[in-house]
Amino acid sequence: MIHNLPESSLQHSSSSRYLSIGKIENWAENESGFVAYSKIAQVKISVVRDGIIRVQASRNSTFDPNPYSVIAQPKTVEFTLEEKETSIHLKTSKIHLQFDFQNGVCSFYDVSGTLLNKDDSLGISWIGTEVTCYKELQSNEKFIGLGEKTGNLNRAGRAYTNWNTDYFGYGISDDPLYASIPFYIGLQEGKAYGIYLDNTHKSIFNFGASTDRFMYFNAEDGDMDYYFIHQPTVAGIISSYTELTGTMEIPPKWALGYQQCRYSYYPDKEVLTLANTFREKEMPADVIYLDIHHMEHYKVFTFDGEKFSDPKGLISKLKEKGFRVVVILDPGIKTEPGYIPYDEGKSQGLFVNYPDGKEYVAQVWPGPCAFPDFTNPKTRAWWMEKMAFYTEAGVDGFWTDMNEPASWGQFTPNLIEFDYEGNTASHRKARNIYGMQMAKSTQQGSSDNLPNQRPFVLTRSGFAGVQRYAAIWTGDNVSTEEHMLAGVRLVNSLGLSGIPFSGYDLGGFAREATKSLYARWMSIGTFSPLFRAHSMINSNDAEPWAFGEEVEEISRTYMKLRYKLLPTLYSKFRLSSQTGLPVAASLAVDYSADPLVYLPAYQNQYLFCDTIMVAPVESYKEITKVYLPKGDWYYFFTDQTYNGNQVIYQDCPLNNLPVFIKAGSILALQNDIAHTRAINDGILRIHLYKGTQASEYIHYEDDGESLEYKSGKYLERVFRYFPNESKLTINEAKGNYPSDFETFRIYLHGFTTDGATLGKKTISLNKESFAFLDKLSDFDPLPDMRFPHLSIPNLKYMDLKIESHKIEICDLV
């Protein structure tokens, strides 16, 4: 029987002192766990999955869950409950929870009885409305993730605030930034766990800053509501988190190409010139952005009649050249009578208001603006309808900016009110999810208006679960070497936090990049999930050809490499849409027990598409230290091999970013193409790297644009390398999409064989001098060898006609 406490005993006046849960007086089992009661609070423990336990604590008679982030449906999970003298023991097949009657302290163990995480004796407590959970600090415990957070890979010793903030030109250690993902992973002596705090109020995660007793996380109001996750690996924890909060959909293929943006390109003639220049210079690109100057007086859902007199015609011309157009959407609606979006929003009650019903108005780009309440289903439906203005003109993608929400003065009053799905809430509760709900409205609007076309939304602000609706970029960065590397860490951290599709402004938004900085940033950006350049108004041109001939050629050859890598990249995006795992993965994902991956010298290194290890380095360095983790590695550009578990010194001239391939890997490439809709030469180039570890590559194709893959119009082929058997297998094709390729060209890296067998047939091998990057021109008649051209001489390969049945290639030694 469940014992509910009287309402009066659960409600207490605000206090400025620490108030603990206190002694548990009674408890009751339920279908998913149990509920326990003290004199002042209730604690609910729920088994969500074998490896996920939810902990809720409230001083109110009912809980107040976040309706936006967790979408996992309840499942029946087997567990056992046992009451002992001083505690309750709950066990699943992966987690053992001990819940103490004294102060409701939770201790989490794995099935072997090893402690994973334990509350400090202070447990869950309140100071006024602020609710906090104190956790013991374990020896040498590391903390990673937490979304868009600056600083080191290991968060230990720092504290962070989750409060979505418009921060122009932020410093490389500043906090908070634009998006809040209150999910982190704890690591200690080979053990791993994750904690997601499901509370949208401003929250703080303190990983031992100013105290050596505990770490803690808190929210300024609302419930303590967190999910404890345990899996054997970091990857398993990330996948479990995205089982809770959702995974991204497969994006349109064009969104993986190069994207060019500026604040702003106008008028229409300049936009056409930009597109023509990419094609004339044979620099592959897919997307051009229109920033706020495309609008009439910066008003959303308008085009400037002078600067863009025929937007539909302009976009049609761009599409003929293979370009897609992405337009910026700001939430602020100018309070101008006669401006249809304002008139509609006001008459229908769709804007954020003060408690007395007056409209909340703040200054943004158009001047005084009202703000759509995206926590109101009616507002979201209206926004979706308004987006037809753009889709009818041919716009394919949307860029939601200023959606923290931002306004001049940067101090939104906390008393303004939001619908919050019919449960009116203040700005304190709604701010952090405002941007995510705008992204949701925009994604659904795109889908409704372009029903068989995959949406692409890029957002600046978000919260846990935003990956379902949009990619994220890291806001208004700065053109410095430090920011270039900080951006890499931000993207890696977002990947650790369930957001695989993210990127940074290549070249930097604020200030101006030097020639060398821009060149290096372009090479690093080639290996970023989002490949997008952006620059600020009243700055020098910042297109890839704007920094001189040498930088133009370096940029071009890396842009071409990006398009060559599209088969691998697209296949990885599809896999990430299923698993939630990052496209650009910190080495802490696969090598979490290796202490060297957390050192400042190596924390920027990451795996791109599982097999390509990138070691970002400043543009002024000509040689750098690179840490090679466990295993064997190939230097990408020459096939020089290295043993792992060592630090090497690697040359890094401006045209050769340190990039390595994991031995045993399978990498799929195509020829370079002008844009993602261009027809390739029909040859799928499979690069097989000899190693001692077996590997798998799941190759995926579809039309890259529609939703027909959901009904079976796709192609999947599994490539497996078995070094102990000296063979490569290519499984039978699945799906009903005809491949974009006709021939497999299989390159054999590190193999000594002169032939291979296919069935009973012997295949002779060809040889070529192979290079992943084009040779740069000798601009100076006195060459100084600053940009050596690296290649792999006599690389062996074989050509096979692509057939749908299983293929087995043997005798690969």
Q: Which residues are catalytic?
A: 401, 404, 476
CA dihedral (41, 42, 48, 53) positive or negative: positive
From residue 178, alpha-carbon distances to 127, 217, 306, 522 in Å are: 27, 19, 33, 24
User: Can you give the C-alpha Rg of the chain in angstroms?
Assistant: 27
Strand-pair partners of 197: 226
**Rounded Cα gap, residues 251 and 256, in angstroms:** 8
342's torsion region: left (phi>0), alpha (psi -120 to 50) or beta? Answer: alpha
Contact 739, 682 (CB under 8 A): no
For 76, 265, 638, the CA distances from 530, given in Å and listed in that order, are 38, 20, 27
Is 552 within 8 Å of 521 (Cβ atoms)? no
The single-letter code of the amino acid at 492 is: N
- Tell me how far CA of residue 572 lies from CA of 7, 512, 709, 738, in angstroms: 52, 33, 16, 19
Contact 303, 290 (CB under 8 A): no
Classified as helix, coil or strand, 570 is helix
**161: region left, alpha or beta (phi > 0 left; psi from -120 to 50 alpha):** beta
Please answer whether residues 189 and 56 qualify as being in contact, where contact means their C-beta atoms are separated by less than 8 angstroms: no
Exposed, middle or buried, 710 (CB in 10 Å: 0-12/13-18/19+)? exposed
**Cβ atoms of residues 693 and 629 within 8 Å:** no
Q: Is 104 exposed, middle or buried (0-12, 13-18, 19+ CB in 10 A)?
A: buried
AA letter at 610: D
